[in-house]
Amino acid sequence: MQRAGIILLLSGLLAVGAAYACVLLGIAAAAAPWWLASGATAVLAGLAVLGAARRGRATPVLTATIAASFTSVLAGLLIPLALPAPDATGPLLLGLPFPTAILLLLVGLVPLVLLPIAYAYAFDREVLSDDDLAALRAPSRAAEQVAGRASERAK
């Protein structure tokens, strides 16, 4: 899973770099926003995958949430790029021009709701359980006990 995260991150960075290169070099500038939208989403998804990865453990809820959230973000950025720019008489959705509303719903609302709820729901099984914490704290507890005994002997 860590490898998948790094591959996603690296491909996203190359796409963002390609977008900036298009603008800086003045080559295929029309493609630049498409590269940037895809690249930025891939970089963020790669970071999320890295954060969710745990050695030797599956994280199905977090993985599914990442897939759903970042598919939504990608769609939310690419659909408005594909749609014509809204004019002053076009239809409104929730008080906003249609492409703007689509963008805000898919990039803003969907991950805003999905991510924190999935994180809380999967926390015990996929993020940090009591057992995980106890295992991590065991070596420092042992060291504290050694230091405590030495301190008592000193008194």
Partner 1 sequence: MNIAVGISYFLCCAAIGWWASRRTRTAEDFFVAGRSIGLVPFAIAAMASTLSGFAFIGGPGLVYAMGMTAVFIILPASLTNTLGAWVLGKRLRLLGEVRQLVTVPDAIGARYRSPAAQGLSAVAILVGIVGYVGTNILALGIVVDAIFGVGLMPGIWIGTATLLAYSVGGGILAGIYTDVFQGLLMAVASAVVFVFALDSGGGLAAITRAIQSADPALMGPWGARGAMVALSFFFVFAVGSLGQPHVAHKYYMLKEPRRLRWYPLIMTIAMILAQLLFVGVGIAVRATVARGDAPPLTSPDEATPYFLLNHVPTFVAALVFSGVAAAIMSTVSSFLSIGAAALTHDIPRAFGRSGARANAGRAADANAVADVVANVVADAVADALTLKRGRLWTVVLCLAGAVLAQASGTLVAFLGIFGYGLFASTLVPALAIGLNWDGATREGAIASIATGLVLTLALETAAWIKLISIPTGVTVSGLTLVTSLLVFIAVSLATRRNAAEQLDADVRAVMET
What angle is formed at CA 144 by the lines to CA 142 and CA 146, rounded to 5 degrees?
Answer: 70
Of 20, 21, 15, 18, the residue nearest 38 (C-alpha): 15
Contacts to partner 1 from residues 11-50, by CB under 8 A: 13-14, 16-17, 19-20, 23-24, 32-33, 36-37, 39-40, 43-44, 47-48, 50
AA identity, residue 12: G
Q: How far apart are CA 138 and CA 29, in angstroms?
A: 56
Among 4, 28, 75, 127, binds partner 1 (CB under 8 A): 127
Q: Does 68 bind partner 1 (CB under 8 A)?
A: no
What string marks each residue from 87 to 106 as x (binds partner 1 by CB under 8 A) or -? Answer: xx---x-xxxx-xx-xxx--
Residue 9 touches partner 1, criterion: CB under 8 A: yes
